[in-house]
Structure 1
């Protein structure tokens, strides 16, 4: 958490509008907390919290809450490490990879699970995993959550990527571009989160590996709430309030799924200039479970898979990655 320079704030606010910009009221010398997230269905808890002002309510009038969105986990983790954000939602893959390399990051809550689907382009003609040899698949990033899930599933079938000596080629890219890459024949398969999976299916793609089939599909958090160990230690009360606001947001989603779908779609459109068909959002919500639960044993098993697939150079030990202390609002007020 950082002290804002009021002059720099005024200049920045008057010259450029960005998604991470502070509110237009006079922040003065208020402390600032920056929350990061991605514009996709896995990250709906952040969109709900922003819409409903849950972070603002929890943190109080003396703190100015701002938001910043990211295209991928790598960019998010850089921002967390440099202090550009204080907490936020990200996939567990980038968290584990960075933690294993010495990054100061802590998982303080789950956010969502499920939602990862492997689809094949209509042009590829692929009907099953038996036809993956010499094909090209795409994921949002190397070693990202969806990449590890897919490659773990395939490894059990004796299929590996070219990165580790197999024949299945791998590229990365923004999920919003996958349909164009399918149509051009650049890629044949995509391991993709919702709502992009439902979007691709609506355009003719075929589901090859569904959420309940892919490795860790229903047990692994595909999005977690993280912060730094330094901030957790130095301002534990702040983190408890952030965690409690996040928990309130997850509860709202489960109590109000239809309103949450509308808020999510509005938010994604505002950020990406693309509005999703309501049926696609509804289908995506069917595959995603919003929960604050985090199973540390599953996190460790997923990390072991990352090591087996050579995304990590050393066998990981994540016993202290997931915070187990009580971070509820009642605990923060004690």
Structure 2
């Protein structure tokens, strides 16, 4: 079987898994959840990824910033390697709060009919690049080449496929088309080194690893595609029922989240050390100094979820061919507690851009 046919089969199998229906009761979706405040929760279950683009979570957990603000509420953490797994945990009520990519966040909201989850803060902006093998100098050079994205329908996969449409480059295995394969970031790095993959739309620190460790070159920084160079890479999602019943706990988490973001802003070297130590503890391997420095240069830790970008993100999934219709994101955001915490800290509040209105 040819490499391109094998990659296509893998992507089609993943598509079936992505679009398969998942059971979700009315209670799981948050419908009928009591609106009354039950006070601080006994426990809060927090999910995040061992990725540099989840740096506020890594810092907040490692430095005890969440635990300090939570007081008597126990913090239980769980790490994930794939957005759909974290989404299923949220929708199945086995997780209360999660750091997620913007794509999985929209998917979680849409799958629950706009009921189960709310976006309560941003975490990271930027940090995704299209990197290529030397000799690929223009978009058209990707015809007949294999391009990797981390996962079917994830944030980078949608961005890649939307960009290919804009460039007039069809996705497929026929001559003149671009082969898109979905490979987890570590595997994509190995495939690139072996020459089985010619390009990758990768988040940090993987784009930096591809450049510094595998000889890739940057064809496009995704920041160039967004106004002001800012787009949401990671956001904070909370189960709606948990938010309604335990706003004090969510507020405490957001204080810890803001403290983690502040550490990165005021002491970059310390933030890098903390993040790298956390990555080594969680994955067994730290990043090299050059990779760490380059990756941090391409991301912005910010509590602003850049709410105004979400309607476009939903439309992009349709343009990219990973959704049949644009998800209705009206009502996705509830930034009330975030803006309260920001005001208390003397920080500027963030714009909901109407994303809080159904």
Instruction: Determine if the TM-score, normalized by the shorter chain, exceeds 0.5.
Output: yes
Shift of 1:244: 1.9
Match of 1:155 in 2: 165
Aligned: 1:309 with 2:320: yes
Match of 2:90 in 1: 80
Runs of 5+ consecutive residues of structure 2 not aligned to the other structure:
1-40, 345-358
Match of 1:12 in 2: none
Root-mean-square deviation (CA, aligned residues, Å) is 2.2
Q: Which residue, out of 132, 138, 144, partners 1:128?
A: 138
Q: Which residue, out of 178, 188, 201, partners 2:211?
A: 201
Match of 1:176 in 2: 186
Q: 1:183 to 1:329 in 2, by over 3 A?
A: closer
Q: Which residue, out of 101, 107, 131, partners 1:119?
A: 131
Shift of 1:166: 8.3
Give the Cα–Cα distance (whole angstroms) in 2 for the partners of residues 295 and 330 of structure 1.
15
SS at match of 2:153: coil
Within-5 A mapping of 1:1-334: 31-61=42-72, 63-102=73-112, 104-122=116-134, 125-162=135-172, 167-202=177-212, 203-214=214-225, 218-327=229-338, 328-329=340-341
Shift of 1:210: 1.6
SS at match of 1:134: coil
| TM-score of the pair, normalised by structure 2 | 0.78
SS at match of 2:337: coil
- Number of matched pairs: 299
Give the Cα–Cα distance (whole angstroms) in 2 for the partners of residues 330 and 181 of structure 1.
43
Maintained 8 Å contact 1:153/1:215 = no
Runs of 5+ consecutive residues of structure 1 not aligned to the other structure:
1-29
Shift of 1:200: 0.8
Q: 1:126 to 1:232 in 2, by over 3 A?
A: same
| TM-score of the pair, normalised by structure 1 | 0.83
306-315 vs 128-137, greater mean Cα deviation: 306-315
Q: 1:149 to 1:166 in 2, by over 3 A?
A: farther
Give the Cα–Cα distance (whole angstroms) in 2 for the partners of residues 312 and 108 of structure 1.
24
Give the Cα–Cα distance (whole angstroms) in 2 for the partners of residues 126 and 329 of structure 1.
47
Give the Cα–Cα distance (whole angstroms) in 1 for the partners of residues 211 and 342 of structure 2.
44
Q: 1:240 to 1:97 in 2, by over 3 A?
A: same
304-313 vs 106-115, greater mean Cα deviation: 304-313
